[in-house]
Amino acid sequence: MALSDAHLRYLFAISNAAAATPDVSSRQIASALGVTKPSVVHILNILMRDGMVVKRHYGKIYLTDRGAFTVNYYRRLLDTTLAAMPEYPFPVSADERRNAALALIAALPDGITGNILVRSLPKRRWKKMSRSQKVNEPETMSTASAYLYKEQAECVQQVHQYLVEHLDSRVTQVELAQRYHISLTSLKGAFKQVYGLPINTYLRRCRVQHAEQLLFTTDLSILEIAQRVGYDSPSRFAAMFKREKGITPRECRRVRTDQLPEEKTIA
């Protein structure tokens, strides 16, 4: 079974609920994940089909041995991935960071996730494992597959560096793909795998973060700040800023002004 990040979130939610009470209901899962009950029923049917969970009397939900093993495996993998993820250049919540890590784990090939998990084991335990127990060692992966992933990851890092260094420029994803000699589909997929967000969403948040810094630390006009983050139209910039921050750039600057200490008058 190819587990998606949604499947993993549901399995984790069932496991967490089971730790508090032995009988888990669909209502509890819906409440924990903030989704509707029909959505829970749909995912549960998929997980039951694949032997991860079972429903017993009165619709109570239980993890099977296979489901419990899967939860433990991916929980360790999630902890390892979170520890290795780079810091974002803009504020993200713990839930957003966790969801990004789950999306990354679900998107990676099994060979790579196996190596992430096995290499995170204590060295002594790794050495004691027999060759047949080692999960998908690098040499068992095809050279072409390993090279392709490495090549895409390096390309995406170059794209990321270009974007954050040229926030004042407007560039399309097609132009980025052509500049770095990668297909548009591969660029979109690889960028989201590495940074947890689509390119446009990530770039927009970087622009807002930089604009907020300029609003707080400089006396540049709104137009000048808009131009420094790639917007020729102050109104479009203000709309984008408010959509992300909940306040306009002028209101943001007013907050800074209100927080400045009053100048003392010398008699």
**Which residues are CB-neighbours of 259 under 8 A, at least 6 positions away?**
none
CA distance 65 to 77: 18
Give residue 256's pLDDT. 67
**Which residues are CB-neighbours of 149 under 8 A, at least 6 positions away?**
109, 112
Residue 115 pLDDT greater than 70, yes or no: no
CA 4 to chain centroid: 13
- Nearest CA to 70 out of 23, 104, 105 is that of 105
Q: What is the pLDDT of residues 30-50, one digit of tens each?
A: 888 888 888 888 888 888 888
Confidence of residue 194 (pLDDT cuts 50, 70, 90): confident
- Nearest CA to 89 out of 151, 186, 169, 167 is that of 167
Residue labelled with tokens 């000048």: 224
Burial class (CB within 10 angstroms; exposed 0-12, middle 13-18, buried 19+) of 135: middle
Give residue 181's pLDDT. 86
What's this model's pTM, rounded to 2 decimal places? 0.48
CA distance 79 to 4: 17
Per the CB < 8 A criterion, the answer to whether 249 and 222 are in contact is yes
Q: What is the pLDDT of residues 213-265, one digit of tens each?
A: 899 888 999 999 999 999 999 999 999 999 988 899 999 888 766 654 454 44
Give residue 203's pLDDT. 92
